[in-house]
Amino acid sequence: MKYDYLIVGAGLFGAVFAREMTNMGRKCLVIDKRKHIAGNIYTEEIDGIYVHRYGAHIFHTSDKKIWEYVNRYTEFNQYINSPVAVYGDELYNLPFNMNTFSKMWGIKTPAEAKEIIERQIRKAGIKEPANLEEQAIRLVGTDVYEKLIKGYTQKQWGRKCTELPAFIIKRLPLRFTYDNNYFNDRYQGIPVDGYTKMVEKMLEGIEVRLETDYFQVRNEIDADTTVYTGPIDEYFGYTLGHLQYRSLRFETEKLDCENYQGNAVVNYTAADVPYTRIIEHKHFTFGKQPVTVITREYSSEWKPGEEPYYPVNDSKNTELYRKYQELAEQEQGLIFGGRLGQYQYFDMDKVIASALSCVESQKK
């Protein structure tokens, strides 16, 4: 069998690309080395609860076309992401807003909150931040930094904030309204039947082979063009070295209780709690099941062979990625796409936009 496109990876990028090309009459084969489709947005059903296996995923976008696009494949609910943060025995709303400030300082008005923050920033007197700690204090003052940023960031990066460069944090938005909606986007929600069904619908009528590693079958499949959504450095056998990532470890547990924490996302911001957050999956879909499933999320150092999550886009890795891109440009009939192929953190809406623009480039 001869294919127009071999698509490596049944994640969001691969599924959107395959769908669009199939709609245009092209013959596509999608392969994935995992046992399931949907890549990192995979949700598995446990007792009627959709569990986000590779980390909590909330769909949000300001792009109306992308919102209409995903709504063709699933129905979204009205979920609004409003995480809370636990620091010792204190609990605060996120993102940093008037609910947070009011609880922290017992104040009511934006003027009072601004006055406290500005006073703390003035007192710290940081002009040229030498590290992440100084940068954060310069932006939000000492209280918000100490309680809500310091320990969490330290766990995320596995290093003290004084040892991290200032540029990691460019902005720390402060909201002087009583608004707990984490995202500023116009459209937001969670698929009522989980993300896996959405991707299943995208892949309807397309040949998909699971548990199929590209490197084991590359010589057996005849395709004009390969769209590769795995890690770009792996494709080239790491000849120039390994790109680095931050990784995550998930500890998932089913609990015999109806409601464990009352919210889908609870961040743990103190350094002495080893996990960064606990996800209670049923709250993403307003589940009423008698049991619940929670996931503790730990941030971890990435080693080759482990699941890569967040690319480390520092100058060293960006330079290495650029060199791999140069190798990629010399190949005929090969496209690199998605978060691993392009070594970039993409939200889901951006990955869809990127796949659709890749489809457009194929029309030329």
Catalytic residue, chosen from 19, 53, 138, 277, is 277
Q: Is 339 annotated as catalytic? A: no
Q: Is 204 annotated as catalytic? A: no
Candidates 139-147, 154-162, 260-268, 347-355; binding stretch for ligand FAD (CB under 6 A): 347-355
- By CB under 6 A, name the one of 28, 41, 232, 278 that touches ligand FAD: 41
Catalytic residue, chosen from 268, 297, 343, 349, is 297
3-state secondary structure at position 139? helix
Tell me if 55 contacts ligand FAD by CB under 6 A.
yes
CB 17, CB 34: distance < 8 Å: no
Tell me if 9 contacts ligand FAD by CB under 6 A.
yes
Candidates 88-96, 170-178, 251-259, 340-348; binding stretch for ligand FAD (CB under 6 A): 340-348
Site string for ligand FAD, 99-138 (x = CB under 6 A): ----------------------------------------
Q: Is 171 annotated as catalytic? A: yes
Closer residue to ligand FAD in complex, CB, 141/311:
311
Tell me if 284 contacts ligand FAD by CB under 6 A.
no
For 160, the token pair is 């003290």
3-state secondary structure at position 162? helix
Cβ neighbourhood burial of 60 (10 Å; 0-12, 13-18, 19+):
buried
Q: Is 185 annotated as catalytic? A: no
Gap between the Cα atoms of 32 and 212, Å rounded = 5
Tell me if 279 contacts ligand FAD by CB under 6 A.
no
Tell me if 39 contacts ligand FAD by CB under 6 A.
yes
3-state secondary structure at position 288? coil
Catalytic residue, chosen from 90, 238, 249, 345, is 345
Kindly report whether the peptide bond that precedes residue 110 is cis, defined as omega within 30 degrees of 0.
Answer: no
Tell me if 27 contacts ligand FAD by CB under 6 A.
no
Q: What are phi and psi of 258, to 5 degrees?
A: -80, -35
Residues within window 169-208 making contact with ligand FAD, judged by CB under 6 A = none
Gap between the Cα atoms of 91 and 80, Å rounded = 19
| Degrees, nearest 5: CA angle 163-165-171 | 125
Closer residue to ligand FAD in complex, CB, 44/347:
347
Q: Is 200 annotated as catalytic? A: no
Q: Which of 161, 158, 124, 159 is nearest to 139 (CA)?
A: 124
Lay out the sheet containing 28-31: strands in order across: 207-209, 28-31, 2-8, 222-228, 334-336
Helical axes 64-71 vs 348-363, angle rounded to 10°: 90
Tell me if 95 contacts ligand FAD by CB under 6 A.
no
Gap between the Cα atoms of 51 and 54, Å rounded = 9
Tell me if 40 contacts ligand FAD by CB under 6 A.
yes
Q: Contact residues for ligand FAD (CB under 6 A)? A: 8-14, 31-34, 39-41, 55-59, 213-215, 229-230, 248, 309-310, 338-340, 346-349, 351
* Residues forming the active site: 171, 175, 246, 277, 297, 345, 347
